[in-house]
Amino acid sequence: MNKRPLAAICIFFIIGIFLAAYLSNLLKFTPVFILFLTFILSTIIFLKFLKISKIFLYLSIISLGSLLYLNSNIFPPDHISRFLGKDKVKAEITGIIKSPIETRVAYYGKVNSKYIFELESIDGLRITGLALIRIQTEKDYQYGDRLFVKGVIKRPFAGVIARRERSERRSNFRKEKISSITSQSRNDKVNFDYRKYLENQNIFAIINVSEKNVIFLEHNYKVNNILRFAYFVRDKFKNQFLEKMPLESGAFLRAILLGDRSELPKRLQESFRNSGTMHILAISGLNVALLAGAFLFLFKLLRLKREIYYILTMLSLIFLMMLTGSSASVVRATIMCIVFLTGRLLGRPVDAYNSLGTAALIILVINPKDVFDVGFQLSFTAVWSMVYFMPKLMRFVKKDWNFYIMKYLLEPLAISISATIGTFPLIIYYFKMATPIAIISNILIVPLMFILMIGGLCFVALGWMPFIGSFISSFNNILANVIFFLAEFFAAIKFGHFNV
């Protein structure tokens, strides 16, 4: 614990969360709170006896993890979770749109748009909490729109998702880099509890409503002006990609820069899934890290002071997080990057395990339930395995080998193998599939995606200029099609992917 205190604290904190989750029938908030205070007091009393003091400190951290998890499951008397039963309920509901459009998909022959909806009342009774609202409409509602709707409200589906339910729920998994693997898996079942997935994000209900039963009440109701501006910019960028680039390449840039896959053809999504590169379509740790590198490079070119361009990079990442809707994967990746950059900025030795532990700790203090999220587990396992296994793999490389071969071939190969080793058991467990071809496909596709992301940023900044905008658009289109070709090529390789 002395060498990597934050990593150790995070581990004990997670132990506390798991204890509270699996012993929820035995552990109650008040006794655990008293226990936590007792352990803290004991830590102080035995401060002179380091070994005993450490034991009580560990117990304090464990009890704090349990305490915050138990607290996350305590809701006010008017919370939606207390009112919904097993059956669907027809109701008159008032609430506020709290997100840009989540997805727009065909559902039983009609177009459905989905949003996160903050409840205000149901049938005249004050009700609080979040829901997913599915509106049968092609119209775009905006963040901060207050609506009165007549529709059906129900609890999300619970238990393992079978194939016949997936078509209905496919779009709900957009936010996580592993989501599309879940939605398109050919297995009859995957270990994914949809109700639990939503409840971990504090979403406890689903509302279905047709457009004719929606009454608009007012704009910009109880909005955060910074978020409103970020969503406004997001819409501008989306329209720019749609209007000035070919459909497929424009949709691909929207996916890797804005996290919006709604227009990307299923054929391409299938190719990325089978080639083991599906993670690049969701804004995740890799995308954020690449963008952080791009921001650092661009700000450095402006000859700004080191402190200034580091701070500008962190602010840019925070704005990007809001721009993409602050999905769980983006929040995780942004915190991890900011922790790393802050350490570099302060001139402190950056220990990867401590940085990883700090990022996980911040996320879990905000929402302890995230530890059960598949995306959380995959993100942190991938980073941990790269940090742990890569140096061990590179020991097999002799120091007198060609520098360029080591730098541009063997190191990327070691990173790809390391990430695969760490995440392989989780992917097998949750999704019943394996993509061994990912070790090779990622080495070729990820660097090209990095160049394309920089090209996408240049297009956002300069796309309005007549000649330069057309040149950047053509360059991005060519590069996107090269990536599509590689994804389709690797996806077609026999035994490159298989179901377990």
Q: What is the pLDDT of residues 258-285, one digit of tens each?
A: 877 777 888 888 898 888 887 777 666 6
**Considering Cα of 301, then 305, then 310, then 313, what sign does the dihedral take?**
negative
What CA–CA distance (Å, rounded) separates 385 from 373?
Answer: 18
pLDDT in tens, 63-97: 999 999 999 988 999 999 888 887 888 999 999 99
pLDDT in tens, 106-138: 666 677 888 999 999 999 899 999 999 999 887
Whose CA is closest to 454, among 261, 298, 258, 252?
298
Q: Check residue 230 and give its pLDDT.
A: 85
Q: Which two tokens stand for residue 318?
A: 């925070």
Query: Measured at the alpha carbon of residue 447, what is the angle toward residues 444 and 438, in degrees to the nearest 5?
Result: 40
Beta-bridge partner residues of 93: 122, 149
Q: Check residue 285 and give its pLDDT.
A: 67
Count of helix runs (H) and strand runs (E) in the chain: 18, 12
Q: Which two tokens stand for residue 403?
A: 């520098």
Alpha-carbon distances, residue 126 vs 74, 80, 104, 134, 456 (angstroms): 18, 10, 29, 21, 45
Q: Give, to the nearest 10 degrees, the angle between helix 285-301 and helix 438-462.
A: 50
pLDDT in tens, 35-46: 999 999 999 998
What CA–CA distance (Å, rounded) separates 269 from 434?
Answer: 16
What CA–CA distance (Å, rounded) separates 429 from 377?
Answer: 12
How many other C-beta atoms can be found within 10 angstroms of the C-beta atom of residue 488? 16
Phi, psi of 381 (to 5 degrees): -65, -40
What CA–CA distance (Å, rounded) separates 235 from 493?
Answer: 38
Q: Which 3 state secondary structure label does DSSP give 134?
A: strand
Chunk the chain into consecutive blocks of 10 residues (it has 500) and report each block's average pLDDT, rounded to whole numbers: 80 95 88 94 89 92 95 91 85 92 71 89 93 87 92 81 42 38 43 79 91 91 87 83 85 83 82 84 71 82 85 89 74 81 79 84 90 83 86 80 71 81 83 84 85 86 84 93 94 85
Q: Are 499 and 185 in contact, with CB atoms under 8 Å apart?
A: yes
Q: Is 173 exposed, middle or buried (0-12, 13-18, 19+ CB in 10 A)?
A: buried
What CA–CA distance (Å, rounded) separates 451 from 457?
Answer: 10
Q: What is the pTM of this model?
A: 0.79
How many other C-beta atoms can be found within 10 angstroms of the C-beta atom of residue 292? 22
How many other C-beta atoms can be found within 10 angstroms of the C-beta atom of residue 106? 10
Beta-bridge partner residues of 210: 136
How many other C-beta atoms can be found within 10 angstroms of the C-beta atom of residue 206? 24
Q: Check residue 14 and give its pLDDT.
A: 95
Q: Are 349 and 303 in contact, with CB atoms under 8 Å apart?
A: no
